[in-house]
Structure 1
Amino acid sequence: MDELSALRERLATQRPVAYEEMPDFPLYMDQMLSYMERQVLRFDDGDGLTAAMVNNYTKSGLLPRAEGKKYSREHLCCLTAVCILKQVMSVKDVELLLSSVLPREDVAGGYEAFRADLDRSLNLVTDVMEGYPAEEDTAQAALHFALLSYAAGVASSRYVSLLRRRREEAGGAVPAKKSRKSKEKAEA
């Protein structure tokens, strides 16, 4: 099997597991990191999730705090979405988007909707890849997917901008995080 066929096969078959198929018991950091290796398509050793990244996502409020150094299904759902979306948008935009589509009060439902959208997107790319079966089409296929990525990025960016503006108009903008000193001054 050549590299492009192997890629098409992975895109067609490798998916994050359903919420109900995730471990129903809490995982320690190293277990969670190992589990996440199977949740996201990766091609390089250097692009995996690390403990430092998880800690940064938690500090920024993108991920809920661990429950006694243990991570639940909800953490796995959030991390799956973050790891996928951060490949194509800023962490700030990921945070805004996930607060809308993966709400803390219904992580399971939001995650399953996320998985359904991801599945449709991966199937679309897999179908388009079949139109470029020959090795000679590699440059044309790369151009096609680059332009498709550009177009999708422009659309995504515009949708995120609209979402941000609607939140601000509704008074639901996420306030900027204040430093500890700023909070102490405000309370004094």
Structure 2
Amino acid sequence: MTSDKDYQAIIERDMIPDLDLYMDQVRQLFEKTYADHTRDDKEKILTKTMINNYAKSKLLPPIVNKKYQTEHVMLIQMIYQLKGALSLQDIETVLSYISPSIEDEKKRNHVYDDYVTLMKKQARDAVEMKKAMEADLAREEESLADFFPSLA
């Protein structure tokens, strides 16, 4: 059974340090945020290989001196969540629409804040849908128990 918190993890803008990070620091940020959301202790949230693949696929702007800037972390966050539903090629298409905004800090922050707001709304909607489905299931079980007392 999933808990409500399973839907709610996301790296908000104020969680991203205002300084350049090395790859291991980026990975630690993701591990800290998503540690409770793995199927088992061996599952990796974000690996060096994943990040390198995003860079090689040109999903990220060039990395300077092996340091990741705020926009890199924002894009990695988006990719991390989108990859559950889309291929890297499809993610590239989606990100191509926002790439012009990544250069300008004000636009980038606005786009990312909108993204976080949308993801939080989606999480709240998922929790509400889950609760409604559980209530429906409980009502159906009660009806079946009334109709088939031996099942109760």
The answer on 1:86 being equivalent to 2:83 is yes
In 2, distance between residues paired with 1:91 and 1:14? 22
SS of match in other structure, 1:100: helix
Aligned to 1:29: 23
The answer on 1:104 being equivalent to 2:105 is no
Shift of 1:88: 0.2
Shift of 1:57: 0.8
Shift of 1:130: 1.1
Structure with max Cα Rg:
2
Aligned to 1:124: 125
Give the root-mean-square deviation of aligned CA atoms. Answer: 2.2
> Which piece of structure 1 moves more, 50-59 or 97-106?
97-106
Whichever residue aligns with residue 27 of structure 1, its letter is L
Per the normalisation by structure 1, the TM-score is: 0.61
SS of match in other structure, 2:11: coil
2:50 to 46, 50, 53: 53
Per the normalisation by structure 2, the TM-score is: 0.74
Shift of 1:47: 4.6
Whichever residue aligns with residue 50 of structure 1, its letter is T
Q: Which runs of 5+ in 2 are unaligned?
A: 139-152
Moved over 4 A (4+): none
Residues 1-188 of structure 1 mapped to structure 2, 5 A cutoff: 3-4=1-2, 7-11=3-7, 13-17=8-12, 19-40=13-34, 42-44=37-39, 45-101=42-98, 103-105=101-103, 106-133=107-134
| Higher RCO (C-alpha 8 Å, min separation 6) | 2
Q: Per-residue displacement from partner, 1:32-86 (whole Å, max 9, x unpaired)?
A: 1111224457323425211111111111110112221111111110000000001
